[in-house]
Amino acid sequence: MISNEFRQSLKDKYQIVFHNEKLLEEAFTHSSYANEHPESVRDYEKLEFLGDAVLELAVSDYVYRHFPKLNEGELTRLRSNIVRTEGFSEFAIECGFQNEIRLGKGEELAGARHRKTLLEDVFEAFNGALFLDQGMQKVQYFLHLTVYPRIATGEFTASRDYKTDLQELLQQNGTVNINYEVVASSQDPVSFTVQLSVDGKKLSQGSGHNKKAAEQAAAKTALSKLEESRTD
């Protein structure tokens, strides 16, 4: 069951009170739990499917209205940078979602509760459930309190997505293992240095004011190296 503390938190922070409690429970039910408790609500996978589309539409509407000077290509890149699911795990943690996820015993022991991909799925599922329960207007209200303030500060930009471009280039001939690792950081000023490795081999480094910016810088450097080597 969803804890009373979490329900109260949703009410106090986001003015959200679900009319259909089963939708809320479903949004936090992993397939491993559903398999072990077949009498319970189903897992969140269908809500995740819906939430993905809901978030893309909501964010599209927001950036269209708030960035009138951007052209279609720039709006597309900005939306892509926002709705790429790797960022949703951070929002899920900020909202306290990780403590409410219902997992099977094996997944719990494996530490799945803190797995980024699972947290991303749950964030999408929650928004899908909220859409079904109270409509797009309530989803937009929730996002105005969580996601949109980060857009307004410039954390997401319409600039080139170097990480995606690098991944597409490297995987043209098959899957490769791309790893970004923080190798240095400082607090004053805040700075991160990330090392980029491909199939275990160091390729480049990059620095930025947060981990995402450092990863983009490392990917940009790697792309430059690869493009130069192809012209030699």
The domain made up of 4-152 has a fold known as Ribonuclease iii, N-terminal Endonuclease Domain; Chain A (1.10.1520)
Please say whether the beta carbons of 74 and 158 come within 8 A.
Answer: yes
pLDDT at 159: 61
Known catalytic residues are 52, 124
- What's the rounded Cα separation, in Å, for the pair 128 and 54? 7
pLDDT-derived band of residue 6, with 50, 70 and 90 as boundaries? very high
- What's the rounded Cα separation, in Å, for the pair 44 and 65? 31
pLDDT at 231: 58
- What's the rounded Cα separation, in Å, for the pair 151 and 100? 27
**Domain 162-231, CATH class in plain words:** alpha beta
Please say whether the beta carbons of 67 and 39 come within 8 A.
Answer: no
Where, residue-wise, is CATH 1.10.1520.10 in the chain? Answer: 4-152
Alpha-carbon radius of gyration of the chain? 20
Render pLDDT for 92-140 as a digit per residue (tens, 0 to 9).
999 999 999 999 999 999 888 888 889 999 999 999 999 999 999 999 9
Where, residue-wise, is CATH 3.30.160.20 in the chain? Answer: 162-231
Please say whether the beta carbons of 143 and 56 come within 8 A.
Answer: no
Render pLDDT for 184-222 as a digit per residue (tens, 0 to 9).
998 878 889 999 999 999 999 999 888 888 898 899 899
| Pick from 219, 175, 177, 212: nearest CA to 196 | 219
Please say whether the beta carbons of 118 and 40 come within 8 A.
Answer: no
Please say whether the beta carbons of 186 and 194 come within 8 A.
Answer: no
